[in-house]
């Protein structure tokens, strides 16, 4: 089965994250959990509470992405493109299997860091591993969760 994970940027086109050797998502893709805040009321003579309403909170995707290149300059340029893509004010992330979109989310400016500080950069192999923490809207543009 062919999978893809794409960041669609407002400028600069799409960035394919499952695209070895340039980008590779390490581990399993997880769109993250969406929690719900309940508006409740409790009484002195009532067990539990009565729910008056609810509101979904923003979810968080967490990804580990390995960036590679044939030269240090190429790896650095690809890393800069990744940083630029996830620092945009808003962007979409799409998860596709065999050409069918399984999920698509509106995301916002994200945190990005080297996985193990500067130890995450392998100068000889021209690779670096980044950890992304991506805030996303609770309701997907497409998909179930």
Whole-number pLDDT of residue 23: 92
Q: Is the peptide bond preceding residue 21 cis, with omega within 30 degrees of 0? A: yes
Domains and CATH numbers, the chain: 3-33+52-136 (2.40.30)
For the chain, 145 residues long, the average pLDDT of each consecutive 10-residue run is 79 81 86 90 87 92 93 94 91 89 92 84 92 92 81
Q: What pLDDT, in 10s, does the model give residues 130-142?
A: 999 999 999 888 8
Say how far apart CA 7 and CA 35 lie, in whole Å: 24
pTM (2 d.p.): 0.83
Whole-number pLDDT of residue 135: 94
Task: Determine the Cα angle at 105 with ends 39 and 108, to 5°.
Answer: 80
Distance of CA 74 to the CA centre of its chain: 23
Burial (Cβ within 10 Å: 0-12, 13-18, ≥19) of residue 54: exposed
Whole-number pLDDT of residue 144: 76
Find where tokens 């997880």 sit: 30
């Amino acid at each position: 089965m062919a999978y893809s994970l794409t960041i669609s940027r407002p400028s600069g086109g799409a960035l394919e994250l499952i695209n070895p050797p340039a980008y590779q998502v390490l581990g399993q893709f997880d769109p993250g959990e969406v929690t719900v805040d309940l508006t409740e009321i409790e009484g002195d003579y009532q067990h539990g509470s009565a729910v008056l309403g609810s509101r979904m909170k923003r979810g968080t995707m967490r990804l580990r992405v390995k960036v590679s290149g044939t030269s240090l300059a190429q790896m650095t340029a690809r890393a800069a493109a990744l940083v630029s893509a996830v620092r945009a004010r808003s962007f979409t992330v799409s998860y596709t299997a065999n050409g069918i979109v399984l999920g698509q989310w509106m995301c916002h400016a994200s945190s990005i860091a080297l996985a193990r500080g500067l130890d995450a950069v392998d100068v000889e192999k021209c690779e670096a591993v980044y950890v992304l923490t991506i805030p996303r809207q609770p309701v997907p543009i497409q998909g179930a969760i």
